[in-house]
Structure 1
Amino acid sequence: MTLADYVFRAAAMSDLPLLRTWQSLPHVQEWWNSDEPFDEEELRDPRVSRWIVELNGKSFAYMQDYSVHGWEEHHFGHLPPGSRGIDQYIGDPAMIGRGHGTAFIRQRMHVLFTAGAPVIAVDPHPANTRAVTVYTKLGFRIAGVERETPWGFILPMEARPPGE
């Protein structure tokens, strides 16, 4: 896959049935602990950009990126202004284990770094070895100890633009 292969379209209220279906699947529930994908108020929240990821016109994943400074005492609040956090999952089980996660995350990271993000942060559950492996492959480095946060038990990881 190349950086131009994936389409990120803004998530909309009309995507809720699809997201609820994905979030009901065991492979998503294992690591994504949200009852509802979002509501209208959350969809308008300027701190978070929510995306449906498509390949060849088919929706298969959800991704969000957010301002790490948008919440008081966020565990990534120490990062420089403009830093973004990311979260995502592949909803379609047929797309797992085929390199799509690595590829679409790389594409989104490229967009965020090009837009000026000095750091991109991610906070997988430490036991989610698949995610940690993918993030490491993408240039993320462990940036602290495993710890409990209001958003769950995390392993903080950070990536900087290529060449830095």
Structure 2
Amino acid sequence: MAGPYRFRPMTSADLPQIRRWLALPHVREWWGDPAEQYALVSGDLDAPAMDQFIVATADGDFGYIQCYDVTAWDSGFGSQPEGTRGIDLFIGDPGMVEHGHGAALVRAFVDERLAQTAPRVVTDPDPTNGRAVRAYEKAGFRKAHMVDTPDGAALLMIRET
């Protein structure tokens, strides 16, 4: 497995790659309509409560991760400690899927956030996405409970300091 991971802030120059990744079957399966998701991702580029990153190794870019202030985005997660961050991500490069990168990059990214100031990081995978749920568990998240989100039912998972 390649590493270590770099998380560089996404810019508008990354949007063509994001559009290509969103159209790939393994991303579309869980993220949904590529045009709709592209509009959301590109529209959030300048949102103050949303940080977006391109995930890379020495071999190049391979994924996307967004990290947002849960209190600024009413996501239906219920009461959370002030400063809680939420994350969503995908591995765009199909050659990087099912090689342990998901859990490893999530652990590295979340370790940084928890070491800075976030008291908690949450995520909300589709409960039928076993690969994502296992990756989050390997990265130290615990299952909390089901939540209703704008995209439907999701499994709230939590990692704390």
Q: Could you state the TM-score of these two structures normalised by the residue count of structure 1?
A: 0.88
For 1:63, what is the secondary structure of its paired residue?
A: strand
**What is the aligned partner in structure 1 of residue 140 from structure 2?**
139
| Deviation digits for residues 40-67 of structure 1 (CA, Å, limit 9, x no counterpart) | x521111110000010050000001110
Rounded Cα–Cα distance in structure 1 between residues aligned with 2:108 and 2:115: 11
Structure 1 residue ranges (4+ consecutive) displaced by more than 3 angstroms after TM superposition: none
Give runs of aligned pairs for residues 79-94 of structure 1, distance below 5 A: 79-94=80-95
Give runs of aligned pairs for residues 70-81 of structure 1, distance below 5 A: 70-72=72-74, 74-81=75-82
**What is the aligned partner in structure 2 of residue 28 from structure 1?**
27
**What is the aligned partner in structure 2 of residue 64 from structure 1?**
66
User: Equivalent of 1:51, from 36, 50, 53?
Assistant: 53
State whether structure 2 residue 159 is matched by structure 1 residue 159.
yes
How far has the Cα of 1:77 moved from its partner?
4.5
Whether the 8 Å CA contact 2:9–2:51 is kept in 1: the answer is yes
Relative to its length, the structure with more helix (as a share) is 2
For 1:158, what is the secondary structure of its paired residue?
A: strand
For 1:9, what is the secondary structure of its paired residue?
A: strand
Aligned residue pairs total 157
**What is the aligned partner in structure 1 of residue 44 from structure 2?**
42
Query: Identity of aligned pairs, percent?
Result: 41
Structure 1, unmatched stretches of 5+, are none
For 2:108, what is the secondary structure of its paired residue?
A: helix
| Deviation digits for residues 107-137 of structure 1 (CA, Å, limit 9, x no counterpart) | 1111100112111101000100001111111
**What is the aligned partner in structure 2 of residue 118 from structure 1?**
119
Whether the 8 Å CA contact 1:102–1:134 is kept in 2: the answer is yes
AA paired with 1:26?
P
Q: Could you state the TM-score of these two structures normalised by the residue count of structure 2?
A: 0.90
Give the 3 Å change call, closer, same or farther, for CA 111–66 of structure 1 in structure 2: same
Rounded Cα–Cα distance in structure 1 between residues aligned with 2:121 and 2:6: 20
Root-mean-square deviation (CA, aligned residues, Å) is: 1.7
How far has the Cα of 1:102 moved from its partner?
1.1
For 2:125, what is the secondary structure of its paired residue?
A: coil
How far has the Cα of 1:103 moved from its partner?
1.1
Whether the 8 Å CA contact 2:76–2:148 is kept in 1: the answer is no
Structure 2, unmatched stretches of 5+, are none
Whether the 8 Å CA contact 1:69–1:77 is kept in 2: the answer is no
